[in-house]
Structure 1
Amino acid sequence: MPEEEVMSIPPVDAELALAEIHARRAQVVGANLVPGWFWPGTAGLMLLFVLAVESGVTWVVATGTILYVFGLSALIIGVVRHARVQVRPALIGVRGALAIAGFALLLVAAGVGLGFALEALGVPFPATVALIPVALGLIVGGPRLMAYLRRVMLARPLAGN
């Protein structure tokens, strides 16, 4: 039985194929990050909700809650429709997961800490006032977090771990 012929791929074809794989991966990663409009939308809804709750007026609280629920649902549906495929958690890795958790914890700690401090000082609507820098943090930090996650995902080896 004759030995099998080894197929040789010219280096230029291998380079082109690898470049195509990298381009496709960048396209998939970019298609699945949270879009920029999500951050200001979420920040605005949070401000609306907290202000409504702090008003203490029953109908304002109810209306604000309904608007928040429907608004956030619409944002999430928009994000889900924006994403054409789902990114596997392994692609984000530990660094990406820690970045997401750190971002969320930083914003929560800043908002809660500032809110309690403002309440102790007797500032009216302390939670709403404390949420303003948190909302700005979402608007500015959210896209930066997405850029970081994109870099993390694109830096992962093509073959996985």
Structure 2
Amino acid sequence: MDPIDAELALAEVRARRSQVIDANSIPSWFWRAIGVLMVMFTAAVESRRPWLVAIGSVAYGIGLATTILLVVRQAKVQVRPSLIGIEGFLAIFGFTIVLVGIGVGLGLGLEAAGVGWPATLAVIPVAFGLAVGGPRLMGFLRRLMRSRPLAGDR
């Protein structure tokens, strides 16, 4: 195979890999939907009204299941976990820990200060963090996956 054909073949493989990565990225609307569902559910539970807790729980369950199903149904193939590597794992883990820390810390602080609806108020910045940070995390993971060598570990 001459060098030009080899280069063209590699370019085609890179293009196909990018298509697979893009086809399986979690869309931006997913993060916003999860954030809205979290705030709605937390407010329903924190209302301490049994009928509202029941309605909020059912709505959350249906909303979460629907949101996840829509994302899963759009995925055409599955990206190998080794493609994100330890860097990707640490980014996902760090993102999660930061949001959990913000939510729990703020909620406990608001409750200690005697503020009403502390969990609901604490989950709002977490939902905002998901809506803004989720798409950025996905962008980082896409760049990370594209930077991996074409011949990975087998």
Q: Which letter does structure 2 place at the counterpart of 1:148? A: F
Match of 2:21 among 20, 29, 36: 29
The alignment's TM-score, normalised by the length of structure 1, stands at 0.93
The residue aligned with 1:4 is none
Confirm or deny that 1:44 pairs with 2:22.
no
Match of 1:14 among 6, 9, 15: 6
Q: C-alpha root-mean-square deviation of aligned residues, in Å? A: 0.7
Tell me by how many angstroms 1:10 deviates.
2.0
Gaps of 5+ in 1: 1-8
Q: Which letter does structure 1 place at the counterpart of 2:58? A: I
Match of 1:69 among 42, 50, 61: 61
Tell me by how many angstroms 1:12 deviates.
1.6
The residue aligned with 1:6 is none
Alignment size in residue pairs: 153
User: Percent identical across equivalent pairs?
Assistant: 59
The residue aligned with 1:153 is 145
The residue aligned with 1:80 is 72
User: Which aligned segments of 4 or more residues in structure 1 are displaced greater than 4 angstroms?
Assistant: none
Q: How does 1:100-139 map to 2 (within 5 A)?
A: 100-139=92-131
The alignment's TM-score, normalised by the length of structure 2, stands at 0.97
- Higher RCO structure, 1 or 2 (CA under 8 Å, sep 6+): 2
Select the structure of larger CA radius of gyration. Answer: 1
